[in-house]
Structure 1
């Protein structure tokens, strides 16, 4: 089990840059929002912070989260040094973890561009006065971004965000949980909430989704922040004091073999759908167990961002944990469903239950906890796969879910288990037809980064040397 600060530092990773970073760098309207609006909080940020956008991020993090946590018994010591993550010379663990994750999450272009645009004083030019966002796959397609942000829009976003965060923290802190468990549950639940709502809430308030780097304008600041949270899994358990920690963790891929055989055996459209759905849900419930353990950022492909299955499961999980109540859940649902509706014209994330949107192959980035090895991780994934298989192929068709995993799934989507349910009838038929085929051991590939990093470095050096 991960320790208390694992999820706290992941929260830091999501706030190491502000969402309006380009607005700050270009000095557009709103570039001093936090420094002006919450000027009394700048003293809580380390005086050694050099960059203006990082000061904005620091005040934002303090106002939204740290200020709510320091009053909780046993937590102040964990968050006292939060602003060190923005201090370049700091060797505090939060700084080393977050900075390393930031570096590994950066596009390869940033590494190259920093060398191309270095000046005589050894500093690189990291800003172009450019405001378009380009399609990565067809750069000829672009849109102009207005980086001006009104104070009213910004304030509405910040205060609603703070309302959600405060509600969750107070609810858990006032619960009857043992005091020695509260801290971990607060950090973990808070991270799940922030990861889930941060980007959708920003979009919901019609704020500009900014590029992370104007020199390579085809990925957003949220792409980078969420990628940093993902790469954090590979740096947290490397306890070296080096400025940039070497990656240490696992890359895992799960694949159900024989997918085409199962799908191609369909006689009609309903069979085709049911087979796809069964595979999709088995894979989803497999990775959901890992998400609950380490966080949604571990899911690389497909992503948990804008993922309706993830939304359903995480909101139900937070409610089960006592972190949110019905009222807060409805407010969050309104925001998530609005964004999903704009993307898909389906305005209720639970309606996606019928859509087999999770592929039969997923890739994950996992931390390497003390004592872990690739064999142990593979065995854990296999166990989780069997749990998922039992739920979808055995429990759901009987209408009587037995395991907590299956009960979670039914609750999250409000699944009607009565025998007159058309969805359930289709699942029953598929379960009977493909039970033996699906029971085949999934293909699980777990790569230990420690074991291959030297090989990768040598390969990169050879390829780079050949290009010059």
Structure 2
């Protein structure tokens, strides 16, 4: 395939259906002619010649249902956009409300931005990045691509059509399906000790993964990304901003509200790890020429895969070398110019075969040089699509006759014979044409659900221990263990031999007390203080690394609230010692980010007043220090990247001054009362394997019936009912026959509980995959916002996967601390008020709000995620399972991670007590020190419908209420009384535990009544919630005891 014309075809593919297509059909405007005019207006007459090819790509990319069912001739004013993963969720659009002037404004804005560019590559990237974003900002309403089966927007369709351009040329499938994967990332990330260590490792994985593919994305277009999506991907937008700086003016505007401004800033700043370590690409055949520029050729049987592997391996080595070299240059400057940096390594030992008593500048350089190779490998899977198509045709031809007969039977089996090209299959002329098109549809489904998983599985079967990749580990291990008789050499937490060691009781900013690091972990630690290497990797402004220690993270909301309430404790100063006024929400955010990013400053300061600028905000050490010293007055350097939070940003360095005294013991009492527990939350979307193969939990016939129920509002007739019934029957029969050829699936999710084969609900098409990866990207962005709005640190957010660290408690003077205001733009008023009222644990609400986010139940339109900038379907086909470990801040994070993995596994394998079937969508929580036992429940406990999850009477709100009743009128011991009586019943009636729930409910009511502090408390508003709280307990009697133990974990977290 020649790359000439490739980008032009993609440009036209994005415009062959315009966003307002349904509105045009409603107003009886010929949308094809309208699209031609828009193409002519933006790019000129010459581009229209590519429309003929784009129509072929359109057919391949379309969803299977749209291919079977003909277009509607009459479009009603009100249409429904359905969620493709569960059509019972929908958004109703009044097409008559679409403002023509807004539509024209949209095209003017797009034309203005594109008009500043002269070449196709830049124009295509800008068009791809802006066309969806501008539509929602200016026009607002999402519109279905088609009303015959309205399960996707025009954007879903045109973006996927552009992807098909890569793999279909001159009537043939061609090109490559490529997966690039960095294995072993969990071990890599969990090798760190501090929260900042975990964050920097996870962010580097995201940034390096993007770097591996960045040049390919720029050369051939963002549509080559099957997963993750380039749509709303901050790493993609930052790349476009780097190449075409003026685009920032097109994305942002002065009339945006604060929430939208924050979203736009986060969209172009990839400052959080949202990019997964696995990417899937659809590359045109001409991409091989691009790859071969950087690799050596060979004649091996696996030559093409080796070419791609060489290319990506070279990219990996290149990016790692750039990081290390930039870090070395930065360290050179600081060690030569700043004595404070030099003092960081006083008393630190350099370890080679044995440890020296001191370390020199040359030693530091040698340590960094020993991390010259990347600390991880990559796996590359390559499928030659042209060869794969030949294999598929052999399979299809063996079934072609039977499938053809089944289709004819369905067409002739209705009350009247359905005619191809008129009643069904609008893109086909006859049955031969139908079979040709079906071959293309089934090929893409087979490629993604059969061939691709098998090839990935084959490549993954060969793995290498990352510790064997670097020469340091092999060389030093051999040297030490061949000479040492006692075999007590220092080892880093990641398992490698240590290269640097702090033997002192006193920590430095770089090294904790008695900490030993290998060259790689030392480099990763230094990167937290030398972010120049990070911003060169992803040019996006300064990267904010959370260097907060776990003791401060545990107390973060309470610490901020204390500082806000006691004005004598803190103040902001400039370099001259002048006080800087910071008010309202600005103050809360400035405190939050300063404390998150703060670590004792390494560089010297010119502040003249002699305060201790090496002050540690490690609360454990601070308490010890305050017991020895009457007064501590210290400064925390405000990171320069926070000045934009101020209404009048200062050019000077800013400081947070903290003054503490033990004279009245007040400050010491507050410090001792602050929370000591952190929470690690790990989540994983259930049945992603099924989602990726189009299996949505019900049959094709049921799926069509759900869609048809919505279409009845359009005054459909018996003919339409017959048509949809026939269409579902045709697709279902094709799938049944096709799957007879390979009943054993690669996906472990593809079997039902009884072991039988679960057929896909629909065929996997480019449009379907576009929606899936887009939904995951938007989910990742909103999960990130939820975590950050609850005082947490995002370790990773990928849509399906989630890992975060949060404070366990948020209570000051027995009152709930308010969540950050950013949360207000994400939640409905009802949900926001509930969160504020029972905001005693940020971690609890992160669990529940991210679970609601997974099903699009946070705000407004159920089953969708939407703001003024985007509109995406939620993955409501299946749930999401959580492992939650509440641990003391002293517990090693790596061990906490092991606990949370076990808890998540327990949540995924919980059993429904009546049928004993495995039920996913679970949550397992444990409280205590390492290894504490957890309790698992279903996230949907007490609900009948998926929508019920957002109701007041669901698991999350119940636990938030019931576990915090000691703050609302009950005694501090009420839950301990409940658990004591609960244990007595379990000891007596273990075999019949579910038969005694009724008498236990009577006892429960008595315990609660007995624990009311005083008679006046009976009338307190919170206690009025007891009635509905107890009603929830009544409704889940089979899980009553596990529910109470589950709530007890959270109760202890909030105390």
Give the structure-2-normalised TM-score. Answer: 0.31
* Aligned-residue offset at 1:348: 0.9
Question: Which residue matches 1:158?
Answer: 107
Question: Which residue matches 1:380?
Answer: 311
* Aligned-residue offset at 1:389: 2.8
Cα 1:147–1:336 change in 2 (3 A) is farther
Question: Which residue matches 1:451?
Answer: 387
Contact 2:207 2:275 in 1 (8 A): yes
- After superposition, residues 231-310 of structure 1 pair within 5 angstroms as 231-235=164-168, 238=169, 240=170, 245-310=171-236
Rounded Cα–Cα distance in structure 2 between residues aligned with 1:165 and 1:395: 38
Rounded Cα–Cα distance in structure 2 between residues aligned with 1:337 and 1:254: 41
* Aligned-residue offset at 1:26: 2.5
> For 1:226-273, what per-residue CA distance to the aligned partner results, in whole angstroms no more than 9, with x for missing partners?
1111111112xx3x3xxxx22211011111111121122232322211
Other structure's SS at 1:8 match: helix
Contact 1:127 1:213 in 2 (8 A): no
Which stretch has the larger CA shift, 254-263 or 129-138? 129-138
Given the alignment of the two structures, is residue 25 of structure 1 paired with residue 294 of structure 2, yes or no?
no
Cα 1:433–1:231 change in 2 (3 A) is farther
> For 1:358-413, what per-residue CA distance to the aligned partner results, in whole angstroms no more than 9, with x for missing partners?
01111111000287544433332332233233334x24423569xxxxxxxxxxxx
Aligned length: 358
Rounded Cα–Cα distance in structure 2 between residues aligned with 1:201 and 1:14: 14
Contact 2:321 2:372 in 1 (8 A): no
Question: Which residue matches 1:391?
Answer: 322
More helix by share: 1
Cα 1:351–1:21 change in 2 (3 A) is closer
> For 1:291-334, what per-residue CA distance to the aligned partner results, in whole angstroms no more than 9, with x for missing partners?
12211111111111111221111121124xxxxxxxx4442241
Q: Which of 213, 221, 224 in structure 1 is aligned with 2:154?
A: 221
- After superposition, residues 9-408 of structure 1 pair within 5 angstroms as 9-27=9-27, 32=29, 52-66=30-44, 80=46, 82-86=47-51, 95-96=52-53, 98-111=54-67, 113-114=68-69, 129=76, 131-148=79-96, 149-169=98-118, 186-235=119-168, 238=169, 240=170, 245-319=171-245, 328-334=246-252, 341-342=259-260, 346-349=263-266, 352-369=269-286, 373-392=304-323, 394-398=324-328
Cα 1:391–1:187 change in 2 (3 A) is same
Other structure's SS at 2:12 match: helix
Contact 1:308 1:350 in 2 (8 A): yes
Cα 1:268–1:400 change in 2 (3 A) is closer
* Aligned-residue offset at 1:288: 0.8
Rounded Cα–Cα distance in structure 1 between residues aligned with 2:376 and 2:91: 47
* Aligned-residue offset at 1:450: 0.8
Rounded Cα–Cα distance in structure 2 between residues aligned with 1:336 and 1:99: 39
CA RMSD of aligned residues (A): 3.5
Contact 2:106 2:139 in 1 (8 A): no
Q: Which has the higher contact order (CA 8 A, sep 6+)?
A: 1
Rounded Cα–Cα distance in structure 2 between residues aligned with 1:333 and 1:246: 38
Contact 1:200 1:336 in 2 (8 A): no
Rounded Cα–Cα distance in structure 1 between residues aligned with 2:219 and 2:142: 30
Stretches of structure 1 that go unaligned for 5 or more consecutive residues are: 33-51, 67-78, 87-94, 118-123, 170-185, 320-327, 402-417, 422-427
Other structure's SS at 2:81 match: strand
Contact 2:159 2:223 in 1 (8 A): yes
Contact 1:311 1:349 in 2 (8 A): no
Cα 1:7–1:291 change in 2 (3 A) is same
Question: Which residue matches 2:378?
Answer: 442
Cα 1:107–1:386 change in 2 (3 A) is farther
> For 1:28-48, what per-residue CA distance to the aligned partner results, in whole angstroms no more than 9, with x for missing partners?
xxx64xxxxxxxxxxxxxxxx
> For 1:67-103, what per-residue CA distance to the aligned partner results, in whole angstroms no more than 9, with x for missing partners?
xxxxxxxxxxxx53x33445xxxxxxxx22x222212
* Aligned-residue offset at 1:338: 5.8
* Aligned-residue offset at 1:279: 0.9
Contact 1:309 1:349 in 2 (8 A): no
Larger Rg: 2
> For 1:128-184, what per-residue CA distance to the aligned partner results, in whole angstroms no more than 9, with x for missing partners?
757111223332221111223322112211112111122223xxxxxxxxxxxxxxx
Given the alignment of the two structures, is residue 467 of structure 1 paired with residue 384 of structure 2, yes or no?
no
> For 1:6-55, what per-residue CA distance to the aligned partner results, in whole angstroms no more than 9, with x for missing partners?
2122111111112111112233xxx64xxxxxxxxxxxxxxxxxxx2110
Contact 1:204 1:335 in 2 (8 A): no
Rounded Cα–Cα distance in structure 2 between residues aligned with 1:465 and 1:218: 21
Rounded Cα–Cα distance in structure 2 between residues aligned with 1:341 and 1:362: 30
Other structure's SS at 1:275 match: helix
Contact 2:126 2:247 in 1 (8 A): no
Question: Which residue matches 2:773?
Answer: none
Which stretch has the larger CA shift, 376-385 or 441-450? 376-385
Rounded Cα–Cα distance in structure 1 between residues aligned with 2:373 and 2:288: 34
Other structure's SS at 2:143 match: coil
Other structure's SS at 2:172 match: coil
Cα 1:400–1:196 change in 2 (3 A) is farther
Rounded Cα–Cα distance in structure 2 between residues aligned with 1:147 and 1:265: 54
Cα 1:309–1:335 change in 2 (3 A) is farther
More strand by share: 2
Give the structure-1-normalised TM-score. Answer: 0.68
Cα 1:62–1:335 change in 2 (3 A) is farther
